[in-house]
Amino acid sequence: MCRLLAVHDRHPFAIGSHLKNLAQLARDSCEYQGDGWGCAWTAGQDWQVYRNVRPIWKDDLEQFGTAHRLLAHARSAFHNEPPDVNHNMPFLAGPEAFIFNGELHGVTLQAEGRIGAEKLFHFLRRFPGSPRHENLARALAVVKKKSRYIRAMNFVLADPHAFHVHTLFSENAAYFTLHKKQAGTQFLICSEPFPGESGWSPLPNDYLEVHPF
């Protein structure tokens, strides 16, 4: 399983400082999170992306500048498959970016993608339009119906207007519960509270939240 992070602020923020917190969480996790990592960020409209097969805590996190939006993901490969940078999130398609943490079994849906998370992203994109929140809820109802078992399905889907945050897990709540924090103008979602920080609150299970920009 993986660790994920999403940050939005109308003011520019330093990317590296948040990545260092994610790196510490990944390094200290009860499950190995060293099968590569990636991040995507915007200072304007277009996403920039970086991916590496090294563990996030062994990479240079000072190489990044500032952003208004950030998605980051530390990977724990499914069934110990070899690291492959093409499997690293965030996944991008058009103006959207996607990070995922979870595990689905017996899914009978067909979608483009090399791994399950990428297939889920492309399936969700089949339900575009406004209100996006309601269309995502429709898509998720189909995924649930067409899956034999969902160990967890946590994700952040970022479009030009909002973070769409979904949580769902059937076991190990301590590990899979996402957390959020509002600090002034800055909004954050993370797999765990940042080390030593207060002000984080857990998100409910089986929950879809929209955070508009």
Per-residue pLDDT reduced to its tens digit, 114-171: 899 999 999 999 998 888 889 999 999 999 999 999 999 999 999 999 999 999 999 9
Report pLDDT for 80: 66
Q: Kindly list the distances between the CA atom of residue 202 and the CA atoms of 6, 153, 169, in Å, as whole numbers in the listed order.
A: 15, 16, 13
Contacts (Cβ under 8 Å, ≥6 apart) of 4: 71, 72, 73, 74, 89, 99, 100, 101, 154, 155, 156, 178, 189, 190, 191
Mean pLDDT, each 10-residue run in order, the chain (213 residues): 94 97 96 93 91 96 97 85 87 96 94 93 91 93 97 96 97 97 97 96 97 93
Report pLDDT for 10: 94
Q: Are 159 and 132 in contact (CB under 8 A)?
A: yes
Which domains does the chain show, CATH number per domain? 3-212 (3.60.20.10)
CA dihedral 17, 18, 19, 25 (to 10 degrees): 120
| CA nearest to 67, candidates 89, 36, 45, 90 | 45
Report pLDDT for 57: 97
Contacts (Cβ under 8 Å, ≥6 apart) of 197: 181
Amino acid letter, 130: S
Report pLDDT for 130: 82
Report pLDDT for 109: 92
